[in-house]
């Protein structure tokens, strides 16, 4: 009996050794996973911080490049772009600012109140926006610069549509563009068009009243890896809009 008991104790001891080793290996394994998780978390934090720094730098650069009060040509006055932000806020859920444009490449030519509100709401590391008004405040001009180059071909956008599926009703606006001759020094891919809203259909019914017939002048182009766009009513002298676009290009080139 005693011999059997001794054998049992020995067996129990031998079984205990791999069990303890298993616990030890498991603990080591968990420690490695923990270290790996901590390393990954640290890496993610560094990456996130670096990305945030890049975005902040990009935002600061764009805000410095956008035209300001000192860049207003004769006939225009610089205004606080926050008034557009306020408008977008007031419109709230009643207006879908992401109305689809068909063909999609004609998006830069779809200029209306939704465009102005959407521009003002863009992340500052992606774009910067400025607002100008005529002395009587009856007309406005929007200026935008993008952090990347965007080009558009007016020949592909002789006519296009923009659709909004809002809470009140579905609307479809039809536009046409006519190319214009405008020269901007120091810029590439310069395109200028006169945009006209040909009609609007709301809830299946065509509207015969303004804003149908409204016309804008749009000037866009690229320089130093950035895109500039100027949009204003065609009642504003084209020379004034051209001068503002030229001032914007000059400012980008000077600070690049």
pLDDT at 188: 98
Average pLDDT by consecutive 10-residue portion of the chain (256 residues)?
39 33 40 62 55 60 94 94 66 57 92 77 90 90 95 95 81 93 97 93 82 84 97 94 98 94
Please answer whether residues 54 and 46 qualify as being in contact, where contact means their C-beta atoms are separated by less than 8 angstroms.
no
Domain check: are 98 and 44 in the same one? no
pLDDT at 210: 63
pLDDT at 16: 35
* Domain termination residue (choose one: 45, 65, 85): 65
* Domain termination residue (choose one: 65, 98, 116): 65
Residue 99 is part of a domain; what is its CATH number? 3.40.1000
* Domain termination residue (choose one: 65, 82, 109): 65
Domain check: are 227 and 136 in the same one? yes
pLDDT at 237: 95
Domain check: are 250 and 158 in the same one? yes
pLDDT at 207: 85
Give 97's strand partners.
none
pLDDT at 111: 85
Please answer whether residues 62 and 147 qualify as being in contact, where contact means their C-beta atoms are separated by less than 8 angstroms.
yes
Domain check: are 51 and 128 in the same one? no
Domain check: are 81 and 59 in the same one? no
Total count of domains within the chain? 2
pLDDT at 119: 84
Domain check: are 29 and 119 in the same one? no
Domain check: are 160 and 92 in the same one? yes
Q: What token pair was written down for 161?
A: 């549509």
pLDDT at 9: 37
Domain check: are 6 and 125 in the same one? no
Domain check: are 127 and 75 in the same one? yes
pTM (2 d.p.): 0.74
Q: Which domain holds residue 124?
A: 68-254
Domain check: are 36 and 151 in the same one? no
Domain check: are 29 and 117 in the same one? no
Domain check: are 168 and 136 in the same one? yes
């Amino acid at each position: 009996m005693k011999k059997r008991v001794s054998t049992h104790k020995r067996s129990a001891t031998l079984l205990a050794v791999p069990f303890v080793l298993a616990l030890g290996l498991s603990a080591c394994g968990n420690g490695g996973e923990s270290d790996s998780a901590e390393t990954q978390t640290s890496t993610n934090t560094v990456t996130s911080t670096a990305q945030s720094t890049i975005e902040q730098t990009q935002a600061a650069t764009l805000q410095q490049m956008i035209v300001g009060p000192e860049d207003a040509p004769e006939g225009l006055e610089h205004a606080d772009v926050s008034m557009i932000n306020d408008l977008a806020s007031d419109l709230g859920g009643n207006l879908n600012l992401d109305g689809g444009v068909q063909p999609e490449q004609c998006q830069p030519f779809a200029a209306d109140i939704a465009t102005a509100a959407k521009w003002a709401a863009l992340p500052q590391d992606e774009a910067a926006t400025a607002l100008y008004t005529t002395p009587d405040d009856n007309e406005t001009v929007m200026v935008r610069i993008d952090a990347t180059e965007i080009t558009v071909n007016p020949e592909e956008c002789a006519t296009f549509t923009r659709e909004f599926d809002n809470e009140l009703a579905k609307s479809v606006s039809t536009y046409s563009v006519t190319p214009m001759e405008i020269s901007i020094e120091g810029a590439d891919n310069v395109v200028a068009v006169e945009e006209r809203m040909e009609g609007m259909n709301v809830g299946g019914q065509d509207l015969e009243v303004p804003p149908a017939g409204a016309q804008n002048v749009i000037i866009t182009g690229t320089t130093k890896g950035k895109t500039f766009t100027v949009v204003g009513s065609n009642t504003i002298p084209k020379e004034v809009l051209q001068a503002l676009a030229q001032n914007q290009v000059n400012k980008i080139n000077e600070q690049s």
